[in-house]
Chains A and B, each alone.
Chain A
Amino acid sequence: MPNTPPSEKQVKEDVIGFVAAFSNLEPGQVQEDWVLKGTQLALDDNGLAFLAMSLRGYVRHYNPSGAVLAEDVRKKGLTVKALAKLIFERMTK
Chain B
Amino acid sequence: MSVTSMRLGLLVLTTALLLSARPLAAQMTDSTDVIGNWMERHKISLRRTFDGSKDEQNPATFFWVSEPEGPDDDYVLIDFAVKVNEFEKELNRGSQLLLYPVAEYHRTTREDKPSDKGSGALKLEYRPMMARPWRLVPVLFGDARLSRDFANDVTEQRYAALVSLFGFGRFAPGSPIRRPSRPDGEPGGVIGRWYPYIGIENYQTDSKTTDLDGTFLLGRLWIDFWPLRTLNRRYLQLTGEGTYRGRLGGELGSEDNLWELALSANLYLDPGEHIGIGADHVRGQDPKNTFIYRRRTSLGLKIKF
List residues of chain A with CB under 8 Å of any chain B CB: 21-26, 28-29, 35, 39-44, 46-47, 49-50, 52-54, 57, 69-71, 75-77
A77 to B37, Cβ gap below 8 A?
A: yes
Say which residue of A22, A28, A29, A69 sits within 8 Å of B88 (CB atoms): A69
B175 to chain A, nearest CB (A): 6
Complexed CA–CA distance, A24 and B190 (Å): 9
Complexed CA–CA distance, A54 and B95 (Å): 10
Say which residue of B88, B137, B190 sits within 8 Å of A42 (CB atoms): B190
Complexed CA–CA distance, A75 and B30 (Å): 12
The reply to whether the CB of B7 lies closer than 8 angstroms to some CB of chain A is no
**Residue in A closest to B98 when the chains form the complex, CB atoms:** A70
Interface string of B231-242 (1 = CB under 8 A from A): 111100000000
A43 to B176, Cβ gap below 8 A?
A: yes
B178 to A24, Cβ gap below 8 A?
A: yes
Complexed CA–CA distance, A21 and B234 (Å): 22
B178 to A57, Cβ gap below 8 A?
A: no
**Residue in B closest to A79 when the chains form the complex, CB atoms:** B30
15 contacts across the A-B interface (CB closer than 8 A): A22-B175, A24-B170, A25-B187, A26-B187, A39-B190, A39-B229, A40-B189, A42-B176, A42-B193, A50-B137, A50-B166, A53-B127, A54-B130, A54-B131, A70-B88
Residues of the A chain whose Cβ atoms lie less than 8 Å from the Cβ of B229: 39
Residues of the A chain whose Cβ atoms lie less than 8 Å from the Cβ of B189: 39-40
A29 to B187, Cβ gap below 8 A?
A: yes
Residues of the A chain whose Cβ atoms lie less than 8 Å from the Cβ of B169: 24
